[in-house]
């Protein structure tokens, strides 16, 4: 931080405009010293400044600003931001007030099979979109995430076929799913940092809170049947860890501004996903 120290114009050094140097005399710590210590400060020729700028950068200012979770990798930064957007009922780190119906505790939900089917159909459209973008892309940021084992599209297709066999009519995708799908397509073309934010939140949220919702809904309307949507081939914890490492690797190439832009997209991810989740209660 810079501090400005005023210097009186009555000092003799300013009476001669040709002076290029001036001296400040400081009292020595030993009174018996024969002469004072002198600090020499260079000044421009033919100028009579009234201020001297003294740099005083503190250790705290020299230290790089740290972001919550940064020391553990960028995925931890994304997790920290996402958890803050939960309610207290949803997560202990949550800071959001409960406002919409889907934010209430799942135990208080009154889902219907018809509404749940809408949710599954719209979810499949979103996963179809994500996974098609990743599979078709040659962009290095996206190719890292091909065949991670977290893919859900085929699992959802199996579940919807099961519902059809039970005599249920499978609905067409609704506005929330269509809107989110198109938004992801647009992001993938022009904004990879924002796209990766949605990729992370969609897959990781489903592996945590999504599974809990699936169990609770199955208890209420499916006689505890566990859908394929909530099953993975392989150890889920290891699959998630593999993707964490890939996400951290990709983010190492980003500037701090690009990382912040990715984090700022989290709220939109929650907004679009919340609109689809709300279909369960429709």
The full set of domain ranges for the chain reads: 111-280
In this prediction, residue 170 carries a pLDDT of: 98
**C-alpha span between 98 and 95 (Å, rounded):** 10
Give the pLDDT of residue 156: 98
pLDDT at 122 over 60: yes
Residue 7 pLDDT greater than 90, yes or no: no
What does residue 74 show for φ and ψ, rounded to 5 degrees? -70, -30
CA 107 to centroid of chain Cα atoms? 29
Return mean pLDDT, the chain. Answer: 82
Mean pLDDT of the region 2-24 = 39
Q: How far apart are CA 222 and CA 220, in angstroms?
A: 6
The owner of tokens 């219907």 is 112
What CATH code is assigned to 111-280?
1.20.910.10
| pLDDT above 70 (res 17) | no
Taking 60 as the threshold, does the pLDDT of residue 12 lie above it?
A: no
User: CA-CA distance, 48 to 19, in Å (whole number)?
Assistant: 9
What pLDDT digit, counting tens, does each position of 181-214 carry?
999 999 999 999 999 999 999 999 999 999 999 9
The pLDDT, as a whole number, for residue 204 is 98
- pLDDT value at position 250? 97
- The Cα-based distances of 177 to 131, 227, 239 in angstroms read 15, 20, 26
Residue 158 pLDDT grade (very low, low, confident, very high; cuts 50, 70, 90): very high
* Least confident span in 84-93, 118-127, 162-171: 84-93
Distance CA 131, CA 150 (A): 10
CA–CA gap between residue 267 and residue 47 (Å, rounded): 55
Average pLDDT of the residues in 57-73? 65
* pLDDT for position 2: 45
Question: Which of 41 and 81 is assigned the larger pLDDT?
Answer: 81
Name beta bridge partners: 39. 24
pLDDT at 8 over 50: no
Judge whether 148 and 242 are in contact, CB under 8 Å: yes
Q: Give the DSSP letter of residue 2.
A: E
Which is more confident, 219 or 38? 219
- pLDDT given at position 48: 47
Torsion of Cα atoms, 150 then 153 then 157 then 163, to 10°: 70
pLDDT of res. 65: 66
212 compared with 39, residue with greater pLDDT: 212
pLDDT digits (tens, 9 = 90+) for 219-270: 999 999 999 999 999 999 999 999 999 999 999 999 999 999 999 999 999 9
């Amino acid at each position: 931080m810079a501090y400005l120290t005023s210097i009186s114009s009555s000092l003799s050094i300013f009476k001669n405009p040709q002076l290029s140097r001036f001296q400040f005399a400081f009292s020595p710590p030993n009174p018996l010293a024969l002469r004072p210590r002198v600090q020499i400060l260079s000044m421009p020729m033919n100028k009579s400044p009234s201020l001297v700028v003294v740099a005083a950068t503190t250790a705290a200012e020299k230290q790089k600003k740290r972001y919550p979770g940064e020391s553990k990798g960028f995925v931890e930064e994304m997790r920290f931001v996402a958890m803050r957007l939960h309610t207290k009922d949803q997560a202990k780190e949550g800071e959001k007030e409960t406002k919409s119906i889907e934010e209430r505790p799942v135990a208080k939900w009154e889902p219907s099979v018809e509404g749940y089917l809408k949710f599954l159909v719209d979810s499949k459209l979103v996963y179809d979109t994500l996974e098609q973008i990743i599979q078709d892309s040659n962009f290095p940021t996206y190719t890292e995430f091909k065949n991670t084992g977290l893919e859900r599209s085929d699992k959802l297709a199996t579940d919807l076929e099961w519902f059809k066999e039970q005599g249920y009519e499978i609905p067409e995708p609704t506005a929330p799913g269509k809107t989110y799908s198109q938004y992801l397509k647009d992001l993938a073309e022009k904004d990879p940092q924002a796209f990766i934010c949605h990729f992370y939140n969609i897959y990781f949220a489903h592996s945590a809170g999504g599974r809990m919702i699936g169990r609770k809904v199955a208890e209420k309307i499916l006689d505890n049947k566990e859908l394929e949507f909530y099953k993975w081939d392989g150890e889920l914890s290891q699959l998630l860890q593999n993707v964490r490492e890939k996400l951290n690797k990709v983010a190492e190439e980003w500037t701090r501004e690009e990382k912040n832009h990715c984090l700022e997209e989290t709220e939109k991810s929650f907004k679009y996903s919340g609109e689809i989740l709300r279909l369960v209660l429709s």
